Structure 1
Amino acid sequence: MSWIRTIPYDKATGKLKRLYQRVTGPGNNVDNIMMAHSLRPHSMEGHMVLYKNVLHHSGNTVPKWFLEVLGVWVSSLNGCAYCVEHHFQGLQRLLDDAARGDAIRAAIEARAPEQAPLELAQIAAMHYARKLTHSPADMAEADVAALRQAGFDDGQILEINQVTAYFSYANRTVLGLGCSTEGDDLGLSPGNSEDPDDWGHI
């Protein structure tokens, strides 16, 4: 599951057990990316707070399915198959259009956002996310202005920025610790966007 020791659900105690109980999916499954934090439960707590608020919060106005597109895109750019597979399944569930989802993934794998069945504004967001992922020191105010011109307001630009940044963090957690998808239920995610404290995966 990872290159470092992890504590399984049935061996967890104290704060770790309480956190596991909050993030479990069916059958008390805990995603390996979360289990990788098990030796330092406080970092799992920080990860989940960030993840829930950036990607699964009712205050967001960019559609959740498109935030998942950005997650798959950034993860693909970073070579993180774990996050690509997890979040592509989440994207497909949210989009409820398998053919469109497959076409989006094909465009991602071809590194050609323009080929995806997306709006021009969404393609602009993918260009922003690619530059921020590959060349963060080269970002300029003009990159934000381009998103504004595409039709995003500043709050939505913040959402795009935060999802892009979060996935680079998550990708490096997975890649740096050797997390695999073995034993994971792909595509589960927090379902209750109205409650930031509800981390249960469905």
Structure 2
Amino acid sequence: MIIQQDLINQLIHLNPQSKLAEARIIRDVATDHLQLAFETIFSTESEHLTQSIQFYLAEQVARKTGSDLLADYYVEQFNASDIQLNPTQYDSALNYVDVIIEKPKQANKALVTAVIESGWHEKDFLLLAQLVTFVTYQARLIEGLLLLNGQSDRSITPPVTAGIWNTVSHTAQGRIAPTAFTQDQLGWESWLNARDVSTLSDEEANVMKKMGQISSEYFLLLAHQSKILELRTLIDRGIFYTPEGLPRWEREYAAAVVSKVNGCIYCASVHARKASHLAKDRKNDIDQLLATQTGEVLAQNFDERLLAITDFSASLSTTPISAYPIQIERLRALGLDELELLDLIQSIAFFSWANRLMLSLGEAYELN
């Protein structure tokens, strides 16, 4: 697969002289590694995931997520006649895909086990999981940038409410599972077999040590596709650990908003805690977000800036995407510049990817 230029810029016809183009260059770590992740995922084939099937699945994901622009690109990359999906091998996998696109909190161990029992090895399954969740990230990034660039005419939609979350008292391994959002530190257990450290190559082990991931069950699971994991980690750092632009606590806060929409208690705990650490005077706001009950509007009772950030973050996180131009206009009126808006969109879009991996590969448990 040969891509002549950055795919995102190509699809949105980004003017190289624009402020948005300049902002994407400033955030070159995230921009460049996003492109590399795209090229790596779609050039990594497996027994069940030929490139044609990968593009077919990507089109389905993009369409359901709400990015027709991205879906139309993917549909041009394969011939329908090449797609042969044996029900015995693919029905459970397609069911898994549908759930993590539209209702990620409904993923469970039985859903994952059904895919493995139909003949998928962990490495193949992790490629599927990364592909699907990556495309949900791409779709939200593209639609957010179209809004930012004045290329979207989406209609105003009602305020977004908090999604459902875990109500089961114990995990599959019998640990106590959290049933409320919290800033406390949580553990996470996998529904699949993570890699043993001894099976990592020297290069894989060195990368994971450098990233601080070598002792994490979650990252050792993702290491079944170690190059994708490396690129994903670099994208994460290019979005959340960069100077200037949107204050870092607001990026972490946006991640917590997305996690409330998707019902990911684990991700919310990590990023709400980071937001509180970075902005200790905003802890009450962050606690209020976490306390929002299922069905209650997320964006309420904050100051004007946090209200606008919450509203947009939640709308860009829905499936299908429901963000609209007036939300960007409000943020601009509150003083957010192009780089800050790019940081916000990337933070939101990335957690579509992160939440769906966490929710569909394992579950959180309490450490106390």
Instruction: Give your verdict on TM over 0.5.
Output: yes
SS at 1:114 equivalent: coil
Question: Higher relative contact order by CA 8 Å / sep ≥ 6: 1 or 2?
Answer: 1
1-structure distance, mates of 2:320, 2:330? 16
**Which residue type is aligned with residue 145 of structure 1?**
E
SS at 2:242 equivalent: coil
Structure 1 position 15, deviation (Å): 2.8
2-structure distance, mates of 1:70, 1:46? 22
Among 228, 239, 242, the residue aligned to 1:54: 239
Range with greater deviation from structure 2 (172-181 or 136-145): 136-145
Say whether 1:3 aligns with 2:179. Answer: no
Structure 1 position 37, deviation (Å): 0.9
| Pairing of 1:28-107 with structure 2 (within 5 A) | 29-30=215-216, 32-58=217-243, 60-97=244-281, 100-107=282-289
Say whether 1:164 aligns with 2:352. Answer: no
**Which residue type is aligned with residue 259 of structure 2?**
S
Summarize deviations over 1:69-94 as a string: whole Å, max 9, x none.
Answer: 11111111110111011112222222
**Matched residue, 1:200:** none
**Which residue type is aligned with residue 291 of structure 2?**
E
**Matched residue, 1:128:** 312
Instruction: Check 1:170–1:67 CA distance in 2 against 1; reply closer, same or farther (3 A cut).
Output: same
**Matched residue, 1:193:** none
Larger Rg belongs to: 2
Summarize deviations over 1:154-180 as a string: whole Å, max 9, x none.
Answer: 221111111000111100111111153
1-structure distance, mates of 2:257, 2:298? 11
1-structure distance, mates of 2:229, 2:193? 15
2-structure distance, mates of 1:9, 1:57? 30
2-structure distance, mates of 1:135, 1:5? 30
2-structure distance, mates of 1:76, 1:140? 20
Summarize deviations over 1:9-49 as a string: whole Å, max 9, x none.
Answer: 45533332012111217xx643x442331111011112101
Say whether 1:114 aligns with 2:300. Answer: yes
Task: State the percentage of identical aligned residues.
Answer: 21
2-structure distance, mates of 1:41, 1:150? 41
**Which residue type is aligned with residue 160 of structure 1?**
L
Instruction: Check 1:35–1:88 CA distance in 2 against 1; reply closer, same or farther (3 A cut).
Output: farther
What stretches of structure 1 of length at least 5 have no aligned partner?
Answer: 184-202
**Which residue type is aligned with residue 109 of structure 1?**
A
CA RMSD of aligned residues (A): 2.4
**Which residue type is aligned with residue 42 of structure 1?**
K
2-structure distance, mates of 1:43, 1:138? 29
Structure 1 position 131, deviation (Å): 0.7
1:133·1:164 contact (CA, 8 Å) conserved in 2?
yes
2-structure distance, mates of 1:154, 1:17? 38
**Matched residue, 2:323:** 139
**Matched residue, 2:118:** none
Structure 1 position 181, deviation (Å): 5.6
1-structure distance, mates of 2:212, 2:356? 22
| Pairing of 1:149-188 with structure 2 (within 5 A) | 149-180=333-364
**Which residue type is aligned with residue 209 of structure 2?**
Q
SS at 2:222 equivalent: coil
**Matched residue, 1:187:** none
SS at 2:224 equivalent: coil
2:308·2:327 contact (CA, 8 Å) conserved in 1?
no
2-structure distance, mates of 1:18, 1:52? 17
1:19·1:41 contact (CA, 8 Å) conserved in 2?
no
What stretches of structure 2 of length at least 5 have no aligned partner?
Answer: 1-188
**Which residue type is aligned with residue 114 of structure 1?**
Q
2:258·2:348 contact (CA, 8 Å) conserved in 1?
yes
Instruction: Check 1:42–1:182 CA distance in 2 against 1; reply closer, same or farther (3 A cut).
Output: farther
Summarize deviations over 1:122-176 as a string: whole Å, max 9, x none.
Answer: 2201101111111554333333222212221122111111100011110011111
